[in-house]
């Protein structure tokens, strides 16, 4: 069991920001990373669509004998997690709760959240934060277009900067003290946001908090891998080459990915 892989998935390269934090904390694990590039962006899909995508991926992970699954996608964590978390025989981790818990202990009263439309419409961050800390004001901003920029490897363009300014400046004008990167793709643009805010400490990356949660939980369950070295295997549901090119910008160790189309995943899991 200890050597079984941890499954981690996202709509594309965004979840690499979570993988990076996991590998920092628990480098000996074996990881299976699935990027659903055929159906990106998840943030523009309905709850019903996301539920069916997530179940297909989890069913496939189950056949791969995973010992745990990390939802490295806020859109699915915000809309699907609560409904499916007890349906599998392995623990499933969501991005929202560990970050909301962290915010509770912060002094900051005004918090911004940059996220996809699916995450913003669910109000998952504001609901969880305000449940524990009703005095905090949480501003959630949907940022359509950013995921496409990252998937198409355009983070260094003026188009990227313009769009980031459009979403971040109004939040700064509201006086937010912290900004949650509520989509796992957005750490790819973190440096631009920090520059606009002129504040290196303004960002909160949920990837760090979910990684801590995963490592603590696996330790408690006594299923951390104690062998010397882990491995990572990458899969993308379309255009694996583009996945590698866009992903490398943030995760240079990414060298190749296997293309695994959705109909194949469904067939394997049957």
Q: Rule CB under 6 A: which residues touch ligand DGL? A: 10-11, 14, 40-43, 73-75, 116, 119, 147, 183-185
Let me know: does 11 contact 44? Beta carbons within 8 Å.
no
Residue with the shortest CB distance to ligand DGL? 43
184-218 burial, b at 16+ Cβ within 10 Å, e below that, comes to bbbbbbbebbbebbeeeebbbbbbbbbbebbbeeb
Phi, psi of 245 (to 5 degrees): -65, -45
Please give the Cα distance from 126 to 119 (Å, whole number): 10
Q: Which CB atom, from 60 or from 186, has the smaller least distance to ligand DGL?
A: 186
Q: Which CB atom, from 42 or from 61, has the smaller least distance to ligand DGL?
A: 42
Please give the Cα distance from 176 to 36 (Å, whole number): 33
The two structure tokens encoding residue 97: 């709760």
Q: Tell the smallest beta-carbon distance from residue 45 to ligand DGL (Å).
A: 8
Angle at 207 between CA 5 and CA 45, to 5 degrees: 85
143 is catalytic: no
Measured in whole angstroms, how far is the alpha carbon of residue 254 from the centre of its chain? 17
Q: Tell the smallest beta-carbon distance from residue 137 to ligand DGL (Å).
A: 22
Q: Tell the smallest beta-carbon distance from residue 254 to ligand DGL (Å).
A: 16
Please give the Cα distance from 21 to 15 (Å, whole number): 10
Q: Which CB atom, from 10 or from 56, has the smaller least distance to ligand DGL?
A: 10
13, 69, 73, 160: the catalytic one is 73
Q: Tell the smallest beta-carbon distance from residue 43 to ligand DGL (Å).
A: 3
Q: Tell the smallest beta-carbon distance from residue 168 to ligand DGL (Å).
A: 17
Identify the three-state secondary structure at position 103.
helix
Please give the Cα distance from 208 to 269 (Å, whole number): 31
Please give the Cα distance from 153 to 222 (Å, whole number): 39
Q: Which CB atom, from 68 or from 95, has the smaller least distance to ligand DGL?
A: 95
Q: Which CB atom, from 33 or from 223, has the smaller least distance to ligand DGL?
A: 33
Q: Tell the smallest beta-carbon distance from residue 36 to ligand DGL (Å).
A: 8
183, 189, 207, 254: the catalytic one is 183
Q: Which CB atom, from 12 or from 223, has the smaller least distance to ligand DGL?
A: 12
The two structure tokens encoding residue 1: 């069991």
Q: Kindly list the catalytic residues.
A: 73, 183
């Amino acid at each position: 069991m200890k050597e079984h892989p941890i499954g981690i998935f996202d709509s594309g390269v965004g979840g690499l920001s979570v993988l990076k934090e996991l590998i920092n904390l628990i480098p000996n694990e074996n990881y299976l990373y699935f990027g659903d590039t055929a159906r990106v962006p998840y943030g523009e899909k309905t709850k019903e669509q996301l539920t069916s995508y997530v179940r297909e991926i989890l069913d496939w992970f189950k056949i791969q004998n995973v010992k745990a699954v990390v939802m490295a996608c806020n859109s699915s964590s915000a809309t699907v997690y609560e409904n499916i978390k007890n349906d599998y025989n392995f623990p499933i981790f969501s991005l929202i709760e560990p970050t909301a818990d962290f915010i509770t202990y912060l002094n900051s009263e005004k918090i911004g959240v940059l996220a996809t439309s699916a995450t913003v419409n669910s109000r998952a961050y504001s609901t969880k934060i305000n449940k524990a800390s009703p005095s905090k004001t949480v501003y959630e901003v949907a940022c359509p277009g950013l995921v496409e920029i990252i998937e198409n490897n355009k983070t260094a363009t003026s188009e990227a900067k313009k769009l980031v300014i459009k979403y971040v400046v109004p939040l700064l004008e509201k006086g937010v003290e912290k900004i949650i990167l509520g989509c796992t793709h957005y750490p790819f643009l973190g440096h631009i946001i920090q520059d606009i805010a002129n504040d290196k400490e303004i960002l909160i990356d949920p990837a760090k908090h979910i990684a801590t949660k995963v490592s603590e939980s696996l330790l408690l369950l006594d299923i951390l891998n104690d062998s010397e070295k882990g491995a990572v295997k990458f899969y993308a549901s379309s255009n694996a080459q583009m996945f590698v090119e866009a992903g490398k910008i943030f995760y240079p160790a990414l060298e190749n990915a296997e293309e695994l189309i959705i109909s194949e995943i469904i067939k394997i899991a049957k």
